[in-house]
Structure 1
Amino acid sequence: MPKIQYITQDHPELSHSMQAKLAFEKGIEAVQIRMKNSSEKEILTEARMAMQYADEMDGTLIINDSIAIAKEIGAHALHLGLNDTPIDEARKILGAEIIIGGTANTLEDIVIQKSRGADYVGLGPFRHTSTKKNLSPILGLEGYQNILSKMNEKGLEIPIVAVGGILLEEIELLQNAGLYGLAISGALLKTLNNQTHE
């Protein structure tokens, strides 16, 4: 699983597939298509195009929430929330090859997702983010360090990806905290969007 992923978001000028293309072109190895306000048909259209770009540029495409779409386009990975279909059930449908990650906010959540067979856990939010409604409690750097320390004590091993309001200049700080990787949305989109207008 790549260590940095870009999560797409609704944008007035850039479609989700175009965001994926730009991210892959800029060397981001993984892109998660996250379309919370769209129909299944719209998501499928964008995901298909994004998958094409991923294949062309040797990127990893992650689908948020939809097992059916991940299966239909042959996505490399799927990301599921705690209240979505459990990962072990999704695995029965999609097979052993696909990477499946799960969302967590606490150490208990991580234990649950690992028991369900998650390949990685998206742990957050790091800070308040405008891209997600009904946000879980903010973790901050101290929250991550605390959870990682408890994981070490328990001998609990699973790649942890930080998510939620992360700025580009904080990447190194978070990597040094012992996290496996990071998922970035808004901060990276600004950079991508600026480059399309240069």
Structure 2
Amino acid sequence: MIDSLHYISQPSASGSHLEAIEKVLLAGAKWIQLRVKNQTEDEVLALALKAAWLCKVHEARLIVNDYPQVALAAGAYGLHLGLNDMPVAEARAIVGPDMIIGGTANTFEHIQLRAAEGVNYIGLGPYRFTTTKQNLSPVIGLEGYIRLIEQMQEAGIRLPVIAIGGIEAKDIPLLMQAGLHGVAVSGALTRHTELSLAIGEMYSNLQVVHSNI
């Protein structure tokens, strides 16, 4: 099952990806996406191996962004591919039939493509402007999500959709009312000083329990 709260890793102002991941795990997060840019694949693998161990200790699941070979070598639960990353079929041939694969989308045409490719879930965004990601796609906004979910229903596409991009805790109730499966957050947790409280509030708004993975 796809968790409804995804944490997308980013280093804190004074720390590293692994420190940020460990903090959110300690606070109760159960689905971690390791998203590392501008480093070599060997460097990403070293981080992924440590992140996988942290996730195992905290009974959480690790998703590796962009690197299928790294996801496989680290024993990750899943792989997430952006629109400009390796094609899903090629990645599937590397990671095998059992690994979860998520795919980014920004438009209904992207959603149709991802569904045809056989992804397990869609990361749809951005919800609003965010500085976390370079080369940001056009902002979708709440009305955009409502329209895209309606189009999916009309087309019979029933993949879980995770909203992503500048999302804060206060946004979650309305996003869930739009028919989304869940949300992905990064800065909203990386910057938070009371993580347990923040994650508890998010799960409450998502109307799921912490063990629902």
Find the aligned partners of 2:97 and 2:173 in 1 and give their Cα distance. Answer: 32
| Residue in structure 2 matched with residue 13 of structure 1 by the alignment | 14
Offset at residue 23 of structure 1 (A) = 1.3
Offset at residue 96 of structure 1 (A) = 1.4
In the TM superposition, what are the counterparts of 1:34-73 in structure 2 within 5 Å? 34-73=35-74
| Residue in structure 2 matched with residue 163 of structure 1 by the alignment | 164
8 Å contact from structure 2 (residues 88, 119) kept in 1: yes
Find the aligned partners of 2:4 and 2:132 in 1 and give their Cα distance. Answer: 21
| Residue in structure 2 matched with residue 140 of structure 1 by the alignment | 141
Offset at residue 123 of structure 1 (A) = 0.3
| Residue in structure 1 matched with residue 183 of structure 2 by the alignment | 182
Superimposed CA distance per residue, residues 90-137 of structure 1 (whole angstroms, 9 cap, x where no aligned partner): 111111111000000001101101111100000000000000111111
8 Å contact from structure 1 (residues 122, 163) kept in 2: yes
8 Å contact from structure 1 (residues 7, 184) kept in 2: yes
8 Å contact from structure 1 (residues 101, 122) kept in 2: yes
AA aligned opposite 1:5:
H
Runs of 4+ that moved beyond 6 A: none
Offset at residue 69 of structure 1 (A) = 0.6
8 Å contact from structure 2 (residues 3, 30) kept in 1: yes
Runs (5+) with no aligned partner, structure 1 = none
Offset at residue 42 of structure 1 (A) = 2.2
8 Å contact from structure 2 (residues 165, 184) kept in 1: yes
Offset at residue 166 of structure 1 (A) = 0.3
AA aligned opposite 2:164:
V
Matched, 1:85 2:83: no
| Residue in structure 2 matched with residue 114 of structure 1 by the alignment | 115
Q: Pairwise CA RMSD of aligned residues? A: 1.3
AA aligned opposite 2:84:
N
8 Å contact from structure 1 (residues 51, 73) kept in 2: yes
8 Å contact from structure 2 (residues 103, 122) kept in 1: yes
Runs (5+) with no aligned partner, structure 2 = 196-213
SS in 1 for 2:162: strand
| Residue in structure 2 matched with residue 105 of structure 1 by the alignment | 106
| Residue in structure 1 matched with residue 34 of structure 2 by the alignment | 33
| Residue in structure 2 matched with residue 153 of structure 1 by the alignment | 154
AA aligned opposite 1:163:
I
Offset at residue 179 of structure 1 (A) = 0.2
Offset at residue 85 of structure 1 (A) = 1.0
Number of matched residues?
194
Relative contact order (alpha carbons < 8 A, sep ≥ 6): 1 or 2 greater? Answer: 2
Offset at residue 41 of structure 1 (A) = 2.5
AA aligned opposite 1:26:
A
Find the aligned partners of 2:86 and 2:165 in 1 and give their Cα distance. Answer: 22
Question: Normalization by structure 1: what TM-score?
Answer: 0.94
AA aligned opposite 2:132:
T
Superimposed CA distance per residue, residues 2-37 of structure 1 (whole angstroms, 9 cap, x where no aligned partner): 110100113342211121111111111101111112
